[in-house]
């Protein structure tokens, strides 16, 4: 360790006050100076926060962006969502490795560079995308850019000196409605809430019938009402958490809201704090969105200066609330609200056993509401314009609008906001899915944990009563192999399973092995039956929603795109996942035998 690194570690520990609940932030920040987390570094952090080195190593080992082994000075991670692959990411990554003379997943001998893959980076509308050293995103990669990038790395040019246009993240709003089309809220909603009072504002949220936008669709007014009724322990307060983990592959609408409308999101959190008498708020920002941190901090600072955060907000006595941003470290399961809270407390992101629910006992045991970015944004507009206004948009069971992240085989990928009740075919029409001779065969709505629809279902409507969604809308035209799409998602879930419960840990892996077996050409009816059984098993037996939805893509493609499986079934009975006779070839060579008895197939 250099003395500069020593000083940097001291500075991080001092700034974070050596607090255990800051452990993930401490490790992330320390690593940004040391490159990786060696045993001596972990021991030093452990001593500072008063934990054993084994516990600290256990925490670090949980997160993909924290490294217990050295990585390259330039650590390149290609986004590995299906939409990146459709745009050629695998070929480009191979080309990059060839240029840099390295193998994927390995560090070059001089320690200069490592190249690997990571789950979707939330840039599906401008892929193929990649992350460098976890904080710099590069979008719209192509062959020439890969060659130039390899040159820059070989010449050890600092990332900050790379061409700015490579790092450009755009947020193409293709259709705006009441959220994306409104002026950002800088106090209007808060003034309306304060004028009305907290009871009446909560009543407005209830009248709006707003349901959470993070996936489960729980009624926001009910959740806040439950949190309000839960009494914090003496000397503590309720907590407001904004879930900006956005890990569902193909989803990037929260990225757009945090970039284009951060004021409205923070205003929604502050309205929630007013209703709940909360003092502390957190934004749990996914590690892949680390590049947004500085701009979000600037908005928070401005809002403090405007009297919209801090002590006596808008002059209202006793209304004290502020927001911290916690940057995640690469773990999809940390989007699950109780795992998110564990992570906020500086621990491994294992989902908690419930009850108690976070609204009763959440962050550090305090009543906590966890809501999606879009939910807070909607709540702010409802506090401003009233619940009846919101309830008048959308459908009876699904009020208001929903923002979609549209990607895949379409002419105009990007951000689309529609009132609930819009048909799938309307979105397909608007994004140009049928242009340039394309024929859409499937849409994955809500990401891999959502549903896969075939062409016969495009008249269905987006809404909790028909096709619910957390926001992803991935389009697949007739050229795509839906078995391969589902296999990619199976790998994603197995990779992201936290391993806490057996059905998910083992089940997701078994699904991957069977699907890989089919892909390798050793499929049989036996394997198909096994896959069907596995998908049923996982639905009812896992500890959290990750395992419960992990086989949705398998279920949907097995029923809707059966032909894609059938062409991979070569026998009615079990066949092994490898060619036993071919495996024995080296032994035959060594012994000099090649007679019929030395071959398994010909034997007997």
Ligand X SMILES: Cc1cc2nc3c(=O)[nH]c(=O)nc-3n(C[C@H](O)[C@H](O)[C@H](O)COP(=O)(O)O)c2cc1C
Binding site for ligand X (CB under 6 A): 212-216, 218, 243, 245-248, 333, 335-337, 370-372, 375, 544-546
* Beta carbons of 238 and 369 less than 8 angstroms apart: yes
Q: Does 497 bind ligand SF4 (CB under 6 A)?
A: yes
Q: Does 60 bind ligand SF4 (CB under 6 A)?
A: no
Residue number, 383 or 546, with CB nearest to ligand SF4: 546
3-state secondary structure of 381: helix
Residue number, 278 or 333, with CB nearest to ligand SF4: 333
CA distance 83 to 476: 9
Q: How far is the CB of 126 from ligand X (least distance, A)?
A: 20
Q: Does 333 bind ligand SF4 (CB under 6 A)?
A: yes
Residue number, 333 or 452, with CB nearest to ligand SF4: 333
* Beta carbons of 372 and 286 less than 8 angstroms apart: no
CA distance 555 to 503: 17
Query: Tokens for 48?
Result: 């500072």
Stretch that binds ligand SF4, among 259-267, 311-319, 474-482, 493-501 (CB under 6 A): 493-501
499 binds, among ligand SF4, ligand X, none (CB under 5 to 8 A by kind): ligand SF4
CA distance 264 to 258: 9
With CB under 6 A as the contact rule, the residue among 247, 250, 287, 351 that binds ligand SF4 is 351
Q: Residue 570's CB: how many other CB atoms inside 10 A?
A: 12
498 binds, among ligand X, ligand SF4, none (CB under 5 to 8 A by kind): ligand SF4
Residue number, 323 or 538, with CB nearest to ligand SF4: 538
Q: Does 498 bind ligand SF4 (CB under 6 A)?
A: yes
In sequence order, which residues have a C-beta less than 8 Å from that of residue 264 and are 6 or more positions away? 179, 182, 184, 185, 189, 257, 376, 377, 380, 381
Q: How far is the CB of 465 from ligand X (least distance, A)?
A: 17
Residue number, 127 or 351, with CB nearest to ligand SF4: 351
Positions in 526-545 near ligand SF4 (CB under 6 A): 542-544
* Beta carbons of 501 and 547 less than 8 angstroms apart: yes
Distances (CA, A) of 201 to 191, 274, 516, 562: 11, 9, 53, 50
Residue number, 34 or 251, with CB nearest to ligand X: 251
The strand pairing partners of 26, in sequence order, are: none
Write out the H or E segment, with its range, that includes residue 117.
strand 113-118
Stretch that binds ligand SF4, among 145-153, 193-201, 323-331, 497-505 (CB under 6 A): 497-505
464 binds, among ligand X, ligand SF4, none (CB under 5 to 8 A by kind): none
CA distance 269 to 380: 8
In sequence order, which residues have a C-beta less than 8 Å from that of residue 30 and are 6 or more positions away? 8, 9, 12, 37, 41, 45
Q: How far is the CB of 62 from ligand SF4 (least distance, A)?
A: 11
Q: How far is the CB of 38 from ligand X (least distance, A)?
A: 31
3-state secondary structure of 175: strand
With CB under 6 A as the contact rule, the residue among 547, 551, 554, 556 that binds ligand SF4 is 547
**Cis amide bond preceding 415, omega within 30:** no
The strand pairing partners of 370, in sequence order, are: 241
Q: How far is the CB of 40 from ligand SF4 (least distance, A)?
A: 31
Q: How far is the CB of 47 from ligand SF4 (least distance, A)?
A: 30
Residue number, 34 or 508, with CB nearest to ligand X: 508
Nearest 5°: the CA angle 6, 12, 18 is: 110
Q: Does 302 bind ligand SF4 (CB under 6 A)?
A: no
DSSP secondary-structure letter at 407? Answer: E
Q: Does 61 bind ligand SF4 (CB under 6 A)?
A: no
Q: Does 331 bind ligand SF4 (CB under 6 A)?
A: no
**Locate tokens 């001779």: which residue?**
437
- Chain residues in the site for ligand SF4 (CB under 6 A): 333, 351, 497-501, 504-505, 542-544, 546-547
């Amino acid at each position: 360790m250099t003395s500069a690194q020593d000083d940097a570690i001291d500075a991080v520990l001092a700034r974070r006050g050596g607090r255990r609940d800051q452990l993930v932030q401490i490790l992330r920040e320390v690593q940004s100076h040391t490159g990786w987390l060696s045993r001596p570094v972990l021991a030093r952090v452990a001593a500072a926060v008063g934990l054993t080195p084994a516990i600290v190593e256990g925490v670090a080992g949980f997160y993909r962006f924290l490294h217990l082994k050295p990585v390259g000075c330039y650590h390149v991670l290609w986004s590995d969502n299906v939409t990146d692959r459709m745009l050629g990411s695998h070929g480009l990554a191979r080309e990059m490795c060839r240029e840099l003379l390295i193998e994927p997943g390995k560090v070059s001998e001089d320690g200069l560079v490592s190249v690997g893959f990571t789950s979707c980076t939330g840039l599906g509308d401008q892929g193929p995308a990649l992350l460098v050293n976890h904080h710099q995103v590069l979008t719209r990669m192509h062959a020439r850019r890969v060659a130039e990038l390899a040159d820059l790395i070989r010449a050890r040019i600092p990332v900050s000196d790379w061409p700015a246009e490579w790092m450009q993240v755009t947020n193409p709003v293709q259709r705006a409605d009441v959220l994306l089309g409104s002026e950002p809220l800088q106090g209007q909603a808060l003034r309306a809430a304060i004028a009305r009072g907290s009871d009446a504002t909560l009543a407005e949220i209830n009248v709006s019938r707003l349901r959470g936008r993070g996936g489960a669709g729980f009624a926001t007014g009910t959740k806040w009402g439950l949190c309000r009724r839960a009494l914090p322990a003496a000397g503590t307060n309720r907590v407001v958490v904004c879930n900006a983990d956005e890990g569902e592959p193909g989803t990037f609408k929260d990225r757009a809201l945090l970039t284009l409308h951060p004021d409205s999101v923070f205003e929604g959190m502050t309205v929630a704090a007013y209703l709940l008498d909360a003092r502390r708020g957190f934004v749990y920002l996914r590690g892949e969105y680390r590049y947004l941190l500085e701009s979000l901090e600037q908005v928070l600072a401005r809002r403090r200066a405007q009297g919209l955060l801090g002590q006596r907000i808008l002059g209202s006595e006793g209304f004290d609330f502020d927001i911290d941003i916690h940057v995640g470290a690469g773990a999809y399961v940390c989007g699950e609200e109780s795992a998110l809270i564990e992570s906020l407390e500086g621990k491994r992101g294992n989902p908690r056993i419930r009850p108690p629910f976070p609204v009763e006992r959440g962050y550090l045991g305090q009543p906590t509401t966890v809501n999606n970015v879009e939910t807070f944004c909607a709540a702010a507009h409802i506090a401003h314009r009233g619940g009846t206004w919101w309830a008048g948009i959308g459908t009876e069971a699904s009020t208001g609008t929903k923002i979609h992240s549209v990607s895949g085989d379409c002419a105009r990928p990007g951000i689309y906001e529609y009132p609930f009740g819009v048909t799938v075919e309307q979105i397909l029409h608007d994004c140009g899915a049928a242009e340039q001779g394309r024929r859409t065969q499937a849409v994955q709505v809500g990401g891999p944990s959502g549903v896969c629809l075939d062409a016969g279902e495009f008249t269905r409507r987006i809404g909790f009563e028909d096709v619910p969604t957390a926001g992803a809308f991935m389009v697949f035209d007739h050229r795509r192999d839906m078995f391969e799409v589902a296999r990619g998602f199976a790998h994603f879930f197995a990779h992201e399973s936290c391993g806490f419960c057996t059905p998910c840990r083992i089940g997701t892996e078994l699904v991957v092995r069977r699907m890989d077996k089919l892909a390798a050409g050793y499929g049989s009816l036996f394997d198909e039956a096994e896959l069907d059984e596995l998908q049923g098993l996982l639905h009812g037996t896992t500890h959290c929603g990750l395992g419960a939805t992990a086989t949705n893509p398998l279920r949907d493609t097995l029923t809707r795109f059966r032909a894609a499986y059938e062409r991979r079934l070569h026998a009615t009975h079990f066949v092994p996942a490898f060619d036993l006779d071919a495996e024995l070839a080296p032994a035959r060579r060594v012994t000099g035998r090649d007679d019929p008895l030395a071959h398994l197939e010909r034997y007997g």
